[in-house]
């Protein structure tokens, strides 16, 4: 396949397996797994992890109209094994090591990585948690032992109806003896330092201490 010579388009040569090229609306493009690997040339490790988390997350059919993830961990691992000498391969491997099934958004992934990097315990990601008989919630991050839940709240949480739902959610956690830590974009600036402080404080309040 020749390089494109259209104005504003930069062409690159590469080696591709047959299943790494797919057709989308009549265009030949790289598969999601191969595109993820190619992105490793330019992205940093956390950015590549965000993309990996998106590819391997289990979708919610009622909202997305699909029931299978875009890729599996094994498929991404196979992509790395196929192209072991390609630029960015080391970053992609490190990203896959810290990827996790469950994150529903890029901020959730970045928050999870920041908390882990700060030495906090590993949280469960988007796991259905029974707070009391008949009351089930699915926090973004859950520290079940300490009964601490963490939620990242994006712009959609400013909607009036969503505010009502958020209050009900917080009341459910409170009645069950959980601490709900609510994180916003403001807490994620400067390397998520404020978010880390908020979560650490809640964990320490429940008796956790670094070893």
**d(C-alpha 166, C-alpha 162), whole Å:** 6
**d(C-alpha 181, C-alpha 150), whole Å:** 5
**d(C-alpha 73, C-alpha 140), whole Å:** 20
Contact call for residues 76 and 101 (beta carbons, < 8 A)? no
Q: Single out the residue of 190, 150, 199 nearest to residue 170, CA to CA.
A: 150
Domain range summary for the chain, segments of one domain joined by +: 18-98, 106-205
Sorted by sequence, the CB contacts under 8 Å of residue 146 that are 6+ apart come out as: 121, 202, 203, 206, 207, 208
> How much is the pLDDT for 158?
67
Residue identified by tokens 């599996």 is 72
**d(C-alpha 65, C-alpha 167), whole Å:** 29
> How much is the pLDDT for 186?
93
What 3 state SS string does the chain have?
Answer: CCCCCCCCCCCCCCCCCHHHEEEECCEEEECHHHHHHHHCCCCCHHHHHHHHHHHHCCCCHHHHCCCCCCCCHHHHHHHHHHCCCCCCHHHHHHHHHHCCCCCCCHHHHHHHHHHHHCCCCCCEECCCEEEECCEEECCCEEECCCCEEEEECCHHHHCHHHHHHHHHHHHHHHHCCCEEEEECHHHHHHHHHHHHHHHHHHHHHCCCCCC
Q: Note the pTM of the prediction, 2 decimals.
A: 0.87
pLDDT averaged per 10 residues, the chain (length 211): 66 82 92 96 96 95 91 97 93 97 95 97 95 94 97 78 89 96 94 96 96 77
> How much is the pLDDT for 157?
63
In CATH terms, the fold of domain 106-205 is Endonuclease; Chain A (3.40.960)
């Amino acid at each position: 396949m020749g390089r494109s010579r259209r104005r504003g388009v930069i062409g690159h040569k590469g080696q591709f397996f047959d299943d790494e090229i797919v057709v989308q609306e009549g265009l030949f493009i790289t598969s999601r797994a191969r595109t993820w690997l190619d992105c490793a040339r330019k992205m940093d490790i956390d950015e590549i992890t965000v993309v990996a988390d998106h590819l391997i997350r289990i979708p919610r059919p009622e909202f997305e109209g699909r029931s299978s993830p875009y890729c599996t961990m094994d498929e991404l691992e196979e992509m790395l094994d196929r192209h072991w000498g390609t630029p960015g391969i080391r970053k992609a491997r490190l990203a896959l090591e810290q990827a996790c099934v469950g994150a529903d958004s890029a901020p959730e992934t970045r928050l999870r990585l920041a908390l882990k990097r700060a030495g906090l315990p590993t949280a469960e990601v988007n796991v259905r948690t029974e707070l009391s008989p008949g009351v089930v919630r699915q926090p973004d991050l859950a520290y079940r032992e300490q009964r601490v839940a963490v939620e990242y709240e994006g712009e959609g949480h400013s909607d009036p109806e969503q505010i009502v739902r958020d209050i009900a959610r917080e009341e459910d956690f409170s009645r069950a003896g959980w601490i709900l830590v609510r994180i916003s974009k403001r807490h994620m600036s400067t390397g998520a330092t404020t978010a880390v402080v908020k979560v650490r404080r809640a964990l320490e309040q429940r008796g956790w201490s670094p070893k």
